Structure 1
Amino acid sequence: MVIIPIIIVLSLAMYLLYKVQILRLGEDPLKQVYTNSKARIALGLFMVSVSMNVYIVYQTKLALYITIVFIILGGAQFIYGYKTTRFYGKQLKERNS
């Protein structure tokens, strides 16, 4: 199971990259919100992959309950980030056209 730790590291790196990129964008709120929504996608993927890894390692009832909660929270972050990325992506295209 090498794929899950790779996903964990990559999603955490992408989350941190997007958060730092928000600081560099300056005064443009539309680009900041768009970048923050991409960070939410990475955070959701991170939460889901960490919770799956916890369950694979421990395989107890407590780990199962924690995994279920984190999958729900991570999935909500991922879905919200995806929807806002699509919305603000269209707004950026219209503004740049």
Structure 2
Amino acid sequence: MKTPKSIQIEIFDHPDELITKAKETAQKYGVHFLGDTDQGVIRGFGFKADYLFQENVLTITVFRKPAFLPWTTVEEKVRALVNMDPG
């Protein structure tokens, strides 16, 4: 993957709840998650990303993903993980 891609999601829940859930999910699936309610990094299964909270917007920037996985699927899964799946 040559160019990082950012996904921005409006967050309605408190960031503490989202981070707690993300850490639990990461541990369950063996993904490295290091961060807090401001920023952090996520690595595992061919992915490398970071995230940043600014007010009520979560920005996840994906630096590496498996080549066979299309961007639409990556974005769909990210949104589903933060319970913001558009449908």
Higher helix share: 1
| Rg (Cα) greater in structure | 1
TM-score w.r.t. length of structure 1: 0.22
Higher strand share: 2
